[in-house]
Structure 1
């Protein structure tokens, strides 16, 4: 099985389960873990990137947060 096969299986899975995935991502259960993950990713980027991009990192983190969870 090559990488193309894996990608296609992932696409098929996403298409077949789109509604359930969407409902799960916008649930209250997703809010806490997603916040922790987004916070950790943002902090990592801020540590390795120049300080001049901190505001943009926060902007991207907040945009992603609006798409996952219920807050």
Structure 2
């Protein structure tokens, strides 16, 4: 989805964010976005690790039966 943005696109997004939010709010917004991304990655990793035992149990049932 974001693979074709490139450097000029990122600079444009940064300039627009700077105009909209101002220089004093940008660090706060960046921290909030970083925390949100970290929580999302953590939740996704937990979800995947919770599915692994279920997948292994299903495979055991297939091979046993």
Instruction: Give the TM-score normalised by structure 1.
Output: 0.32
Higher relative contact order (CA 8 A, sep 6+): 1
